[in-house]
Amino acid sequence: MIPVSGFEGARVGVLGLGRSGLTAARALAAGGATPVLWDDNQGPRSRAEDEGFETADLTRVDVAETLATLIVSPGIPHLYPAPHPAIAAALAVGVPVDNDIGLFFRSLGSGAWDALDTPPKVIAVTGSNGKSTTSALIHHLLKSAGKPAELAGNIGRGVLDLDPPGEGAVIVLELSSYQTDLARALTPDVAVFTNLSPDHLDRHCGLGGYFAAKRRLFAEGGPDRCVIGVDEVEGRFLANQIGAAPGDDRVIRVSSGTKLSGPGWSVFAKKGFLSEWRKGRQVAAIDLRGVPGLPGAHNHQNACAAYAACRALGLGPKLIEAGLASFAGLPHRSQIVAEAGGVRYVNDSKATNVDAALKALLAFDRIRWICGGLMKEGGLAGLAPGLDHVRKAYVIGREAEGFALGLPGVEAEICGTMEAAVTRAVAEAEPGETVLLAPGAASFDQYDNFEQRGNDFTTRVRAALA
């Protein structure tokens, strides 16, 4: 655990008692603060009290006035569509609002690094799609190269639950827009921006607010190196704002599908080959086509971002290439769960928006596509470039009929449930085809989360093939 510094003897509110909230409370207590906890649900409050923590209704202004600061869990809105009542109370009396990411950056080190010859580094990854795979891949590459590394944030452990890093260690953080938007301290050594597509628009009051939340990691954090995906205009704009000149190697531009030019530092993948260029010449190349854990152009972009981040820390291309070859991929992200009769079965339940689903469709040919769920804003028009890869769609979810109507030219069967969709897809799949779960929608109409949806798909596929 990383004890939180700077609040010794102070009362600090903690709002939301999930994984990050309880971890923050423990880290605050370890640093000498008095955490005061609140959750809208009685169950989490009772568990906190059983652990010995004080609970109090933080929505009351008289309680908020006793606090030095308020720490907020990422799922709780702090501005749009409207601040949570506890946050509104804190704002009314001028109590600073922060989150566990802000506490992490202000507490990491705390003077204990003076005796280290090589202080630890932090790599922080944000973006719309590919954050988890890129973060996990960076962590894997570091570990496979013999570097001490930990992975946390929006993936794995809460940031304050990490072990204090030692000599030459690297902490890899996946950060969502909810986390970067609120953190009062953001100081990574290397910051990574994968890409941008519309998501969480209600929480950020539109695409501009969503991009602004991501941009804070770079504008507020002042990282030594910035790895930026430039396949969208927002990434190109961000890279342009950070770079002081065309050859400024503080910025490493990354692309999938476009050969990047210019005197600067770039890493791009084209036709399955990763290339690194510096000062107008190629310095390394890796064939990604045979890496089973990274299928498709979207994963090649993740590979480029992870490669660039590791190069920014000084890892050699050959070490990185060896690590890429042994990466198994993450569950629910283009995960091959079975192969039988010449048919592949792929779980990409994490494709919860149209852009992610499109990337999954483009990664495979001749697809039996299981799709649908709780549709997001913006409609399904963005799927059009990938629909010619689809042999047939098997639509699930509460809005299955509406989803199917948004797939012009695609044969679509309304299945409703995962069980029905898997049964039909397995029965109709032919050798050389891929049965792909890439919903293009949220899971909450039928499942608690995308992991549960992906597990259901995997279980039913394996049962059908048994």
Instruction: Give the tens place of pLDDT for each residue, 416-430.
Output: 999 999 999 999 999
Neighbours of 81 (CB within 10 A): 8
Question: Omega into 74 within 30° of 0, i.e. cis?
Answer: no
pLDDT at 116: 85
Q: Residue 198 — very low, low, confident or very high, per pLDDT cuts 50/70/90? A: confident
Q: 99 with 72: CB under 8 angstroms? A: yes
Instruction: Report pLDDT digits (tens) over 54-89.
Output: 999 999 999 999 999 999 999 899 999 999 999 999
* Structural domain contains residue 432: yes
Answer yes or no: do 22 and 124 share one domain. no
Alpha-carbon distance 56 to 51, whole Å? 15
Residue 127 is labelled as binding a ligand:
yes
Mean pLDDT of the chain: 95
Joined together, the tokens standing for residue 420 give 């029905």
The amino acid occupying position 43 is G
% of residues, the chain, pLDDT over 70: 100
The amino acid occupying position 261 is S
Answer yes or no: do 121 and 69 share one domain. no
Q: How many residues does the chain have?
A: 466
pLDDT at 200: 83
Bigger pLDDT: 333 vs 109: 333
* Structural domain contains residue 222: yes
Strand partners, 171: 122, 150
Strand partners, 253: 228, 266
Which residue reads 């390394």 in tokens?
A: 284
Q: What CATH number corresponds to the domain at position 458?
A: 3.90.190.20
Instruction: Report pLDDT digits (tens) over 372-403.
Output: 999 988 889 999 999 999 999 999 999 999 99
pLDDT at 110: 67
Alpha-carbon distance 139 to 14, whole Å? 29
Q: 1 with 30: CB under 8 angstroms? A: yes
Alpha-carbon distance 301 to 236, whole Å? 15
Which residue reads 């290439």 in tokens?
A: 321
Residue 128 is labelled as binding a ligand:
yes
Answer yes or no: do 131 and 173 share one domain. yes
From 295, 325, 355, the end of a domain falls on 325
* Structural domain contains residue 5: no
DSSP type of residue 359: H
Which residue reads 């310095």 in tokens?
A: 283
Residue of 340, 375, 361 lying closest to 437 (CA atoms): 361
- Has residue 111 got a pLDDT over 70? no
Answer yes or no: do 168 and 303 share one domain. yes
Residue of 400, 428, 397, 395 lying closest to 413 (CA atoms): 395
Q: 225 with 159: CB under 8 angstroms? A: no
- Has residue 347 got a pLDDT over 90? yes
Quote the Cα angle for 45-46-50, to 5°: 120
Answer yes or no: do 360 and 441 share one domain. yes
Answer yes or no: do 294 and 169 share one domain. yes
Dihedral angle, C-alpha 390, 395, 400, 402, nearest 10 °: 10
The amino acid occupying position 314 is G
Integer angstrom CA distances of residue 163 from 4, 27, 33 = 13, 11, 19
Alpha-carbon distance 391 to 411, whole Å? 7
Answer yes or no: do 299 and 367 share one domain. no
From 325, 344, 373, the end of a domain falls on 325
Q: State the average pLDDT over residues 10-32.
A: 96
Dihedral angle, C-alpha 428, 433, 435, 439, nearest 10 °: -120
Q: Longest Cα pair distance anywhere in the chain, in angstroms?
A: 67
Q: State the average pLDDT over residues 349-365.
A: 93
* Structural domain contains residue 2: no
Domain count across the chain: 3
Answer yes or no: do 259 and 202 share one domain. yes
Residue 144 is labelled as binding a ligand:
no
Residue 133 is labelled as binding a ligand:
yes
**Beta strand ranges found along 127-272 (DSSP E):** 149-153, 170-174, 190-193, 225-229, 251-256, 265-270
Where helices occur in 39-146 by DSSP H, the ranges are: 42-50, 61-64, 85-92, 100-107, 131-144
Answer yes or no: do 176 and 290 share one domain. yes
Positions annotated as catalytic residues are: 131, 154, 200
**Beta strand ranges found along 140-201 (DSSP E):** 149-153, 170-174, 190-193
* Structural domain contains residue 277: yes
Alpha-carbon distance 400 to 239, whole Å? 40
* Structural domain contains residue 447: yes
Answer yes or no: do 126 and 94 share one domain. no
Phi, psi of 462, rounded to the nearest 5 degrees: -65, -35
Residue 132 is labelled as binding a ligand:
yes
Alpha-carbon distance 103 to 99, whole Å? 7
Q: State the average pLDDT over residues 190-214.
A: 93
Burial class (CB in 10 A: 0-12, 13-18, 19+), 57: middle
Which range marks the domain in which residue 229 is found? 105-325
Answer yes or no: do 295 and 440 share one domain. no
The amino acid occupying position 140 is H
pLDDT at 376: 86
- Has residue 446 got a pLDDT over 90? yes
Q: State the average pLDDT over residues 324-345.
A: 92
From 257, 290, 325, the end of a domain falls on 325
Where helices occur in 364-410 by DSSP H, the ranges are: 400-405
Strand partners, 368: 392, 435
Q: 274 with 246: CB under 8 angstroms? A: no
Q: 371 with 398: CB under 8 angstroms? A: no
Which are the contacts of 246, defined by CB distance < 8 A and separation ≥ 6?
Answer: 262, 263, 264
- Has residue 47 got a pLDDT over 90? yes
Q: State the average pLDDT over residues 455-464.
A: 98
Burial class (CB in 10 A: 0-12, 13-18, 19+), 261: exposed
* Structural domain contains residue 1: no
Instruction: Report pLDDT digits (tens) over 237-280.
Output: 999 999 999 999 999 999 999 999 999 999 999 999 999 999 99
Map residue 120 onto helix, strand or coil: coil
